[in-house]
A and B are shown apart, each in its own frame.
Chain A
Amino acid sequence: MSCEEFTEMLTDYLDGRVPYGRRLGMLMHVAMCSHCRRYLRQMRVTIDLTQDLGAQDTQPSRAPDELKSEVMRAFRERAASHTEQGSES
């Protein structure tokens, strides 16, 4: 396996989607190649930092009042029309 092939498969590897044989090949490659070992480690750090950013970003995730009242009104209307249909049948 070449370093280029290793990097091409890295995303699937990190998602646990590389079949056993290929995964073994990747593990053997990374054991021998310090550059790919570094690349793998840095990609993991990159993903961690991006995920941290996502976690910070979505902390206050409540929907704005205007949006919420509009969709809640539509939800109530749907429920009311279902109740009417139910009582008619």
Chain B
Amino acid sequence: MHDMPSTRTGQSEESLLLERLRLGDETVFAELVDAWHGSLHRVATSYLEDAAAAEEVVQETWLAVIDGLDRFQGRSSLKTWVFSILMNKARTRARRDARMVVWSAFDEQPIEASADPHDGRFKKKGSWQHPPLKWTITPEDTLLRDDLAMVIKRTIEELPANQRVVVTMRDLQGLDPEDVCQALGITNANHRVLLHRARAAIRAAIERYMVDGEEEKTA
């Protein structure tokens, strides 16, 4: 079992890790490649929508990390730096493969100020027009939670690319907001809007599933 080195490792811990890498410690590097592979691959896949291309991008990322080890000045955490390289490689790959829709998602589409994607959900004065419906899930509802995992997975896959990448980094991979903003080159405000929209879409999908379930039970 390879524990994932923490995003916010202590500064001395991170310096030590960097020193070991610069000195060519193969064991440390191999552990890092294993520990971060899942996160890097998942984020690259969320951007490129192609698992094989994502794997190539992860490999290119590690090669660039090796190449840049001596130049890395530690202005960001090691993990943020690695994810920044990953996103640059993913963008280059997207351009090369002419995935222009994906490529433009972060860089060209303006992000509106409003975080909530549900037009008409609120009245003019800002109170609920369509309030959230009542549903609850307990930790014991394991079957229901399995079903909802599928609902969430499908919903994330169908999100616009920029929302999908942000929610993947934040909620699926557990990265800190600062790491996500730096790696994607977006402001905290944009990050907040994208994350909220993604979460709101997932909540709405859960609600639809729960309400349909209720209807089936009473039918």
Is B127 an interface residue when CB atoms closer than 8 A count as contact? yes
A85 CB, min distance to chain B CBs, angstroms: 11
* Contact pick for A70, options B59, B114, B127, CB 8 Å: B59
If A38-B132, A42-B135, A43-B203 touch, whether A78 touches B174 (CB-CB below 8 Å) is no
Q: Pick the contact of B126 from A5, A62, A63, A76 — CB < 8 Å?
A: A5
- Grouping DSSP codes into helix (H, G, I), strand (E, B) and loop, the B interface class, with mixed when no group exceeds half, is helix
Measured CA separation A62–B34 after assembly (Å): 4
The residues in B between 141 and 162 inclusive whose CB is less than 8 angstroms from any CB of A are 145, 148-149, 152-153, 156
**A69 CB to nearest chain B CB (Å):** 10
Given the complex, which residues of A lie within 8 Å of B128, measured CB to CB? 3, 35-36
Residue contact B137 to A52, C-beta cutoff 8 Å: no
Q: Does B195 contact A (CB under 8 A)?
A: yes
Interface pair A38/B134, CB less than 8 Å apart: yes
| A72-B26 CB under 8 A given contacts A50-B152, A57-B42, A61-B38 | yes
Q: How far is the CA of A21 from the CA of B132 in the complex (A)?
A: 26
| Cα distance, A63 to B38, chains bound together (Å) | 8
Pick from A7, A60, A75: contact of B26, CB under 8 Å: A75
**Cα of A54 to Cα of B145 in the assembled complex, Å:** 13
CB distance from B127 to the nearest CB of A (A): 5
Q: A43-B203, A75-B24, A78-B24 are in contact. Are A3 and B126 (CB under 8 A)?
A: yes
- In the bound complex, do residue A53 and residue B149 qualify as a contact, i.e. CB atoms below 8 Å apart? yes
Residue total for B at the interface (Cβ-Cβ under 8 A): 58
Contacts of A2 in B (CB 8 A): 122, 125-127
Q: Which chain B residue lies CB-closest to A61?
A: B38
B186 to chain A, nearest CB (A): 14
Q: Is B165 an interface residue (CB 8 A)?
A: no
Contact in complex: A71, B203 (CB < 8 Å): no
Partner of A3, one of B36, B122, B196, B207: B122
Contact A35 B42, beta carbon cutoff 8 Å: no
Interface residues of B (CB under 8 A from A): 2, 4, 23-24, 26, 29-30, 33-39, 42, 55, 58-59, 62-63, 66-67, 69, 114-116, 122, 125-128, 131-132, 134-137, 145, 148-149, 152-153, 156, 167, 171-174, 177, 192, 195-196, 199-200, 202-203, 206-207
